[in-house]
């Protein structure tokens, strides 16, 4: 059976408290028993000493050991106790010793011994001392019934048991109340969390005490809500931007078809022009869908890479040659500088896509007569590729936004071709290879994008 946190806290609290109270009560009981036995032994020892002091004087007057024993016992009268003088072999010479076992003489070798002896009348505490006077050796024994002490200890046991039980009962009630009070903020936070829906993404949990552990929990949950809110907003923006990007080519294609079909008879050239428009728009649609699919896979489980050893200088050089056509058409000069035989490991197709996107972005944002510089360096176990353009730069507030999806800072430069996914794809490919893509510098003289990848 699964217990609630409140019940588990109470059970653990009672369990720990039970152990503490049981140990304390047990220790108190044992200490009390020893103290009471020590007091009984002290009183028995005092009585035995009184008997032992009178024996030597009787022996000095010429009396036998038995006669001296009778005289000593006659002088001592302690109600409720048995007292006797015993011979060296343990036989009773004088006194009351009825029902008590004959003591083992060897047990008194140290001079005295205190033991508890069972008898038909109940347990007795027996205190024996060994004495010697001249040639005579004898034992002095004093015993007292422990039944009164047992009654006292029984009362003490019942009192301790009742006290511990009452304390545990009160502690259980108090622990349950404390646990309930301590977890009340959790219950309130749970109710607030249940009230948060996709229609209220800006809601947050209330932090009542910012200095306790629950405040840390609420803070972490609020941080999660903020991240989810941001992700939801990005998803909604992504859907809106994607719909906008897909709507344009679809609208163009549909308009071309409707215009062409608007008249039954048209020249062949007009049908050919319509098909060229459809082909151009479907290519654009296909490219946007492929890019969106690539980014979706990167978000879901990371890009699937076909890694292989390669020379990065050759790969980037091929990408520069491919970009030269677009650059020459626009009147942009591309400079290429690289170390030789820079080895790396990665997916050649994806890396080509990364650098082509970067170079295409640099050429598109460089005015006619400008230049794009591409540098490749290998140092400290990493490979860096820097792409620098001579455009107008990126405003400071937009330097991280350029990596977001469907973000085009200057729509007039798109000319119906780009969808604002190139830099997003490039960064995803760099990160899939364990590298980074950052905007290292941007000012009115141009921008520098830097790709850093692990060396082979």
> What pLDDT, on the 0 to 100 scale, is given for residue 413?
46
Looking at 245, 277, 300, the residue that finishes a domain is: 300
Structural domains counted in the chain: 3
Looking at 278, 300, 322, the residue that finishes a domain is: 300
Q: Which CATH number do you get for residue 126? A: 3.30.450.20
pLDDT at residue 169 tops 90: yes
Q: Do 275 and 403 share a domain, yes or no?
A: no
Q: Do 273 and 344 share a domain, yes or no?
A: no
Residues 438-442: what's their mean pLDDT? 90
Q: Is 393 within the bounds of a domain?
A: yes
Q: Do 342 and 424 share a domain, yes or no?
A: yes
Q: Is 174 within the bounds of a domain?
A: no
Q: Is 195 within the bounds of a domain?
A: no
> What pLDDT, on the 0 to 100 scale, is given for residue 162?
94
pTM above threshold 0.75: no
pLDDT at residue 298 tops 90: no
Q: Residue 1's pLDDT band (boundaries 50, 70, 90)?
A: low
Q: Do 42 and 122 share a domain, yes or no?
A: yes
pLDDT at residue 11 tops 80: yes
Q: Do 296 and 315 share a domain, yes or no?
A: no
Q: Is 189 within the bounds of a domain?
A: no
Half-sphere exposure for 409 (CA within 13 Å, toward CB): 18
Q: Which of 23-37, 51-65, 134-148, 385-399 has the lowest mean pLDDT?
A: 51-65
Q: Do 272 and 334 share a domain, yes or no?
A: no
Q: Which domain holds residue 147?
A: 5-151
Q: Do 145 and 9 share a domain, yes or no?
A: yes
pLDDT (tens digit, 9 = 90+) per residue, 19-32?
999 999 999 999 99
Q: Do 9 and 147 share a domain, yes or no?
A: yes
pLDDT at residue 359 tops 80: yes
**What average pLDDT does the structure give for the chain?**
83
Q: Residue 301's pLDDT band (boundaries 50, 70, 90)?
A: low
> What pLDDT, on the 0 to 100 scale, is given for residue 245?
65
Looking at 270, 300, 330, the residue that finishes a domain is: 300
> What pLDDT, on the 0 to 100 scale, is given for residue 244?
62
pLDDT (tens digit, 9 = 90+) per residue, 40-78?
999 988 888 888 887 888 787 777 888 888 877 777 777
Higher-confidence residue: 441 or 397?
441
Q: Residue 414's pLDDT band (boundaries 50, 70, 90)?
A: very low
pLDDT (tens digit, 9 = 90+) per residue, 285-294?
777 777 677 7
| Close Cβ partners of 318 (under 8 Å, ≥ 6 residues apart) | 352
Residues 4-17: what's their mean pLDDT? 87
92-95 and 112-117 strand pairing: unpaired
Name the phi and psi angles at 117, rounded to 5.
-110, 130
Q: Which of 153-157, 195-199, 233-237, 249-253 has the lowest mean pLDDT?
A: 233-237
Q: Is 156 within the bounds of a domain?
A: no
Residues 245-249: what's their mean pLDDT? 71
Q: Is 205 within the bounds of a domain?
A: no
Higher-confidence residue: 36 or 247?
36
Q: Do 18 and 141 share a domain, yes or no?
A: yes
| Close Cβ partners of 245 (under 8 Å, ≥ 6 residues apart) | 288, 406, 419, 420
Residues 370-396: what's their mean pLDDT? 89
Q: Do 441 and 313 share a domain, yes or no?
A: yes
pLDDT at residue 411 tops 60: no
Q: Do 342 and 403 share a domain, yes or no?
A: yes
Higher-confidence residue: 372 or 325?
372
Q: Which of 16-30, 121-135, 192-206, 347-361 has the lowest mean pLDDT?
A: 192-206
Q: Is 356 within the bounds of a domain?
A: yes
Higher-confidence residue: 145 or 207?
145
Max CA-CA distance within the chain?
164
> What pLDDT, on the 0 to 100 scale, is given for residue 415?
43
Q: Is 158 within the bounds of a domain?
A: no
CB distance 79 to 149 below 8 Å: no
Q: Do 112 and 221 share a domain, yes or no?
A: no
């Amino acid at each position: 059976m699964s217990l609630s946190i409140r019940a588990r806290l109470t059970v653990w609290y009672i369990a720990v408290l039970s152990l503490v109270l049981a140990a304390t009560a047990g220790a108190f009981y044992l200490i009390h028993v020893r103290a009471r036995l020590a007091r009984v032994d002290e009183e028995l020892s005092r009585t035995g000493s009184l008997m032992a002091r009178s024996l030597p004087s009787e022996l000095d007057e010429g009396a036998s050991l038995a006669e001296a024993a009778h005289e000593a016992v006659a002088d001592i009268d302690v109600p409720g106790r048995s007292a006797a003088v015993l011979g060296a072999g343990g036989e009773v010479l004088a006194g009351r010793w009825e029902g008590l076992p004959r003591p083992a003489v060897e047990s008194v070798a140290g001079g005295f011994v205190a033991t508890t002896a069972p008898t038909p009348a109940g347990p007795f505490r027996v205190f024996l001392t060994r004495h010697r006077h001249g040639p005579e050796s004898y034992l002095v024994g004093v015993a007292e019934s422990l039944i009164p002490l047992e009654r006292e200890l029984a009362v003490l046991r019942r009192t301790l048991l009742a006290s511990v039980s009452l304390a545990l009962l009160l502690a259980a009630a108090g622990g349950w109340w404390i646990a309930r009070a301590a977890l009340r903020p959790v219950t309130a936070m749970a109710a607030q969390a249940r009230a948060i829906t996709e229609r209220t993404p800006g809601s947050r949990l209330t932090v009542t005490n910012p200095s306790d552990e629950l405040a840390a929990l609420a803070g972490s949950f609020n941080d999660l809500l903020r991240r989810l809110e941001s992700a939801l907003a990005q998803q909604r923006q992504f859907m809106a931007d994607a719909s906008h990007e897909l709507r344009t080519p679809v609208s163009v294609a549909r308009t071309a078809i409707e215009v062409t079909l608007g008249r039954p008879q048209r020249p062949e050239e007009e049908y050919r022009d319509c098909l060229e428009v459809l082909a151009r728009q479907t290519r654009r649609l296909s490219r946007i869908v492929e890019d969106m699919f690539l980014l979706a896979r990167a978000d879901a489980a990371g890009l699937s890479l076909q890694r292989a050893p390669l020379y990065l200088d050759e790969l980037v050089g091929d990408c520069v040659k491919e970009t030269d056509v677009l650059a020459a058409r626009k009147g942009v000069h591309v400079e290429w500088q690289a170390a030789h035989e820079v080895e790396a490991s990665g997916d050649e197709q994806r890396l080509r896509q990364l650098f082509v996107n970067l170079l295409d972005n640099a050429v598109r944002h460089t005015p006619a007569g400008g230049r794009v510089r591409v540098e490749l360096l290998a140092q400290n176990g990493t490979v860096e590729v820097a792409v620098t353009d001579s455009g107008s730069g990126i405003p400071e507030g937009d330097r991280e936004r350029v990596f977001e999806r469907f973000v085009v800072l200057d729509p007039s430069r798109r000319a119906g071709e780009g969808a604002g996914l190139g830099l997003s794809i490039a960064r995803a490919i760099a990160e899939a290879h364990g590298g980074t893509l950052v905007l290292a510098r941007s000012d009115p003289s141009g921008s520098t994008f830097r790709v850093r990848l692990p060396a082979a």
